[in-house]
Amino acid sequence: MSFVPDPVGAPRRTPAGVTVLRWAAILFALLAGGGATAIFLQYSAAKGLTPFAVISAVFLLLSTTWLAWGATLGLAGLVPTRPRPVPRGDLAGRLAILVPVYNEEPAGTFARIAAMDASLRRAAPGFEAHFAILSDTRAEDLAAEERRWFARLLKDTGGEGRMFYRRRKENTGRKAGNIEDFFRQSGAAYDYALILDADSLMEGDLVVEMVRRMEGDPTLGLLQSLPKIIRAQSRFGRAMQFAASFYSPVFARGLARLQGRTGPFWGHNAMVRTRAFAGCCGLPVLSGPPPFGGHILSHDYVEAALLARGGWTVRLDVDLEGSFEEGPDNLVEHAKRDRRWCQGNLQHARLLPAPGLPGWNRFVFLQGILAYVAPLFWAGFVISTLGDAVTAPPPDYFPDPHQFFPVFPSDETAKAIGLAIGIFGLLIMPKLLILLGALISGRARGFGGATSAISTLADLALSSVMAPILMAYQTRSVCQVLLGLDGGWPANRRGGAELTLGEAWAACRFVVLWGLAGLVAARIWTPDLMIWLLPVLLPMILSPAIISLTSRGRVGAVFATPTETSRPDVAALHDAVLARWHPVDANATGDPTDGDQAAPASEPAGEPMRV
């Protein structure tokens, strides 16, 4: 095994262009937030500035600044980048493809491995990659199914000697601990490791391209691809799938430009250099109990920061095509996953003062925290605005008892309308500019041509309706974490996502109650503000119907994506494998694989690396 020399061992200097772009983005966000706050204060001062108005202004400053920061990512990514030059020739490095599984449906998972194996052998017939299925499944019956399907996988692919399965007796550290165990036991046998999720699919050509890019840059410690969502069936799922394919490449390009060499890691569909990962990414166990103590839940951004601290480049290459994943098909499943991310991101507050981290990585931790705290800012703004309306004294048209004519307050309606339009513009402007760019460049053809405009408008409408519901879920999640409640790591539910009205009610009745309470309070104390609050309160009250309806099947050609009009090759291979595997005779799969077998099954050459 050939190792590259160690990098400098300290964070690398940030290019001047990246630094300028970062400060420009921060300045834009601060100016947008400050401008909105100044307009609000002028509006409030016309009727008398109260303590509640000042509190509302603070919440508006925080909320609008965060909203503007999100808009800067889209604006920074509007201009396409040039393709990166990649060296050609024989592939010298050895690759392990890691597939962590946790209580997943095994047939689909192992079929994805078979499909990626076939795609990789087509792309590079002489290149051998090993697959390691790293099981943390807790249910014994499901583990037995995994072993049976693994035997079928070996038989179907001829993968003996290059496909390995092991199940941990204890899932210490969850996914991060599962991967760490692999690096401890077997990492020294490989130059690179491609880290996937159980629902990941990647084209063989892309895997080869990522290996070439790793070999072309000896300082590259992690290369992150941009996964696109496929196979969504429901209205909610297809809206997310459209957004991931249509908007995300632009926002991700802006993110990559701002982060430079200290890029993101999203925990899957990324390739790491084993020497770099094993040498830098041993995660600490935080003192105290969960949710703020214990094992690090959102490990990926922490591992990216540790690689950057070690002097390695962490990079997101948006031009890499052929990376796919599946997403939740209803809002409830999305909220369950988001609850785990919320806890993991808030836990990063413990890591902000960690020694040696690049400043930008600390800022990334802060962004992750704000992503979940921001809904509380909006809720605080609404509540304090209501408080201001309730406690404000009646207007005094004769402040001077000796004056003859009344003094009427100036009409500040134009400022209020302008403020609302400006905030709404920050939400929709990046998406409309992305649509315009797609229509001009021809990229929109893959999304139905002119239909992409309808899809964009439908996405904006659906996002506006679902935003108050998601805000309620995120607000509850943050409150639960702050109260010390551990959300754990619930297994993902894939497929069968349609929810009845009763199931939706059971999952979101607290949202309905919050919405009704807000409506009653507004009706009693601030009837003049009812028209402004209805766009927030009505979706919350109707959330069971919204969640149930959006969990059902597609409607027409809205939210069309290129992966639907032209199915990816690896997805077609996956479908072919599943069609060949079903139905399967349980007695025809051979002997089950030993559940305690290590991955790889045979001890690799060389001393195992220690984290």
pLDDT in tens, 340-369: 999 999 999 999 999 999 999 999 999 999
The Cα 477–Cα 499 span in angstroms is 22
Share of the chain above pLDDT 70, in %: 88
Report residue 152 as tokens.
């079928």
The Cα 595–Cα 593 span in angstroms is 6
The Cα 16–Cα 112 span in angstroms is 42
pLDDT of residue 395: 61
Q: Are 122 and 203 in contact (CB under 8 A)?
A: no
The Cα 413–Cα 314 span in angstroms is 49
The Cα 501–Cα 498 span in angstroms is 10
Query: How is residue 329 annotated by DSSP?
Result: S
Instruction: Tell whether 457 is covered by a domain.
Output: yes
Instruction: Tell whether 74 is covered by a domain.
Output: yes
454/478 same-domain check: yes
pLDDT of residue 399: 62
556/577 same-domain check: no
Share of the chain above pLDDT 90, in %: 74
Question: Of 381, 397, 406, whose CA–CA distance to 47 is shortest?
Answer: 397
- pLDDT tens digit string along 256-271? 999 999 999 999 999 9
Report residue 214 as tokens.
């790793």
Instruction: Tell whether 119 is covered by a domain.
Output: yes
- pLDDT tens digit string along 219-241? 999 999 999 999 999 999 999 99
560/580 same-domain check: no
The Cα 329–Cα 346 span in angstroms is 26
C-beta pairs of 366-371 under 8 Å, 24+ apart in sequence: 367/69, 368/298, 368/301, 369/345, 370/66, 371/345
Q: Are 328 and 241 in contact (CB under 8 A)?
A: no
Does residue 191 have a pLDDT over 50? yes
pLDDT of residue 432: 96
70/30 same-domain check: yes
The Cα 338–Cα 580 span in angstroms is 35
Q: How many domains does the chain have?
A: 2
Does residue 32 have a pLDDT over 90? yes
Q: At 410, is the pLDDT very low, low, confident or very high (cuts 50, 70, 90)?
A: low
The Cα 375–Cα 370 span in angstroms is 9
Q: At 200, is the pLDDT very low, low, confident or very high (cuts 50, 70, 90)?
A: very high
Does residue 403 have a pLDDT over 70? no
Whether cis (ω within 30° of 0) applies to the bond prior to 5 is: no
The Cα 14–Cα 320 span in angstroms is 23
Question: Of 416, 309, 419, whose CA–CA distance to 365 is shortest?
Answer: 309
22/127 same-domain check: no
199/231 same-domain check: no
Instruction: Tell whether 363 is covered by a domain.
Output: yes
Residues present in the chain in total: 611
pLDDT of residue 66: 95
Question: Of 325, 323, 280, whose CA–CA distance to 299 is shortest?
Answer: 280
Q: Are 300 and 267 in contact (CB under 8 A)?
A: yes
The Cα 477–Cα 474 span in angstroms is 5
Does residue 322 have a pLDDT over 60? yes
231/251 same-domain check: yes
Helices (H) and strands (E) in the chain, counts: 19, 12
Q: Are 563 and 245 in contact (CB under 8 A)?
A: yes
Report residue 125 as tokens.
């017939």
Q: Give the list of residues 6+ apart from residue 194 with CB closer than 8 angstroms, or none.
A: 95, 96, 97, 98, 129, 202, 207, 210, 270, 271
Average pLDDT of the residues in 402-420: 68
Q: What are phi and psi of 292, to 5 degrees?
A: -95, -15
pLDDT, the chain, mean: 88
Average pLDDT of the residues in 517-528: 88
Q: What are phi and psi of 49, to 5 degrees?
A: -80, 120
72/151 same-domain check: no
Instruction: Tell whether 601 is covered by a domain.
Output: no
Structural domain for 195, as ranges:
91-203+568-594
378/473 same-domain check: yes
pLDDT of residue 411: 62
The Cα 123–Cα 368 span in angstroms is 37
Instruction: Tell whether 316 is covered by a domain.
Output: yes
Average pLDDT of the residues in 167-192: 94
Report residue 29 as tokens.
């966000």
184/298 same-domain check: no
pLDDT of residue 240: 95
Question: Of 396, 449, 460, whose CA–CA distance to 562 is shortest?
Answer: 449
22/117 same-domain check: no
- pLDDT tens digit string along 457-502? 999 999 999 999 999 999 999 999 999 999 877 766 665 579 999 9
Instruction: Tell whether 599 is covered by a domain.
Output: no
Distance of CA 156 to the CA centre of its chain: 34
End-to-end CA distance of the chain: 18
pLDDT of residue 603: 35
E strand or H helix at 270: strand 270-273
Instruction: State the residue for tokens 């166990």.
Output: 285
- Residue 583 belongs to domain with CATH number: 3.90.550.10
pLDDT of residue 388: 83
The Cα 547–Cα 508 span in angstroms is 9
CA distances from 215 to 87, 222, 268 (A): 8, 12, 20
pLDDT of residue 357: 93
pLDDT of residue 87: 67
- pLDDT tens digit string along 132-161? 999 999 999 999 999 999 999 999 999 999
The Cα 497–Cα 336 span in angstroms is 13
428/527 same-domain check: yes
Q: At 6, is the pLDDT very low, low, confident or very high (cuts 50, 70, 90)?
A: low
pLDDT of residue 396: 59
Please return the burial class of 439, using the count of CB atoms within 10 Å of its CB with bins 0-12, 13-18 and 19+.
middle
Instruction: Tell whether 45 is covered by a domain.
Output: yes
Average pLDDT of the residues in 583-588: 46
